[in-house]
Amino acid sequence: MKIICIGRNYAEHAKELGNEIPENPVIFMKPDTAVLKKGSDFYIPEFSQDVHYELEVVLKISKGGKYIQEDKAANYFEEIGLGIDFTARDLQSQLKAKGLPWELAKGFDGSAVLSEFYKKADFDMKNLNFSLVKNKEEVQNGNTSMMIFPPEKIIAFVSQYFTLKTGDLIFTGTPKGVGKVSENDILEGFLEGKKVFDLRIQ
Ligand code: MG
């Protein structure tokens, strides 16, 4: 199983980090060891003083494919969930400044939090609301209509480079409002108003 992630897929988030709006999806990957075990707390790694939450809609690939056409791409995922793309922002900034890959800042153990997955058919993928609450206060609030590259475009783009396999996950990018986590924070993710995960920071 591989985890493909999209960067800068919401204009307001690209702006908040001082990045340009991309012409093509910005792609990076996390190894499968990045998935945080269900029910585990998230431990801030010792190599970062500035770990950020990024709440994202996650697609679960339901059949294999390569060179998937955009108009067929919706047939390649049946389930969706929410996830957090934890990011060591301080380390990422150092790597970006040197023109180096981001993997150390993005793919470390526990950096991929996942909710349960739900049938896509039960949601309007073009108008899906999701939000993150930190210590009882809403910090992120997104809607899939604000994506620069919607799921079909993402699948068509990445499958030109990587064969998609059943069970692969795609993190579709975060809306604005990313921020730092601290010890004892409680994060809660909501999909269309329903709580789909909660998480304690250590
Ligand atoms: Mg992200």
Domain that holds residue 124: 3-200
Q: Contact, 190 vs 139, CB < 8 A?
A: no
Q: Using the mean position of ligand 1's atoms as its centre, give its distance from the Cα of residue 83 in Å.
A: 9
Condensed to tens digits (0 to 9), the pLDDT of residues 31-66 reads: 999 999 999 999 999 999 999 999 999 999 999 999
Q: Using the mean position of ligand 1's atoms as its centre, give its distance from the Cα of residue 13 in Å.
A: 10
Confidence category of residue 16, pLDDT binned at 50, 70, 90: confident
Q: Using the mean position of ligand 1's atoms as its centre, give its distance from the Cα of residue 119 in Å.
A: 23
Q: Using the mean position of ligand 1's atoms as its centre, give its distance from the Cα of residue 75 in Å.
A: 24
Q: Is the pLDDT of residue 14 over 80?
A: no
Per-chain residues with Cβ under 5 A from ion ligand 1: 54, 85, 174
Q: Using the mean position of ligand 1's atoms as its centre, give its distance from the Cα of residue 42 in Å.
A: 17
Condensed to tens digits (0 to 9), the pLDDT of residues 126-151 reads: 999 999 999 999 999 999 999 999 99
Q: Using the mean position of ligand 1's atoms as its centre, give its distance from the Cα of residue 171 in Å.
A: 7
Q: Contact, 53 vs 82, CB < 8 A?
A: no
Q: Contact, 2 vs 168, CB < 8 A?
A: yes
Name the domain count of the chain.
1
DSSP string, 75-143: GGEEEEEEEEE-EEHHHHHHHHHTT---HHHHSSTT-EEE---EEGGGS-GGG-EEEEEETTEEEEEEE
CATH number at residue 34: 3.90.850.10
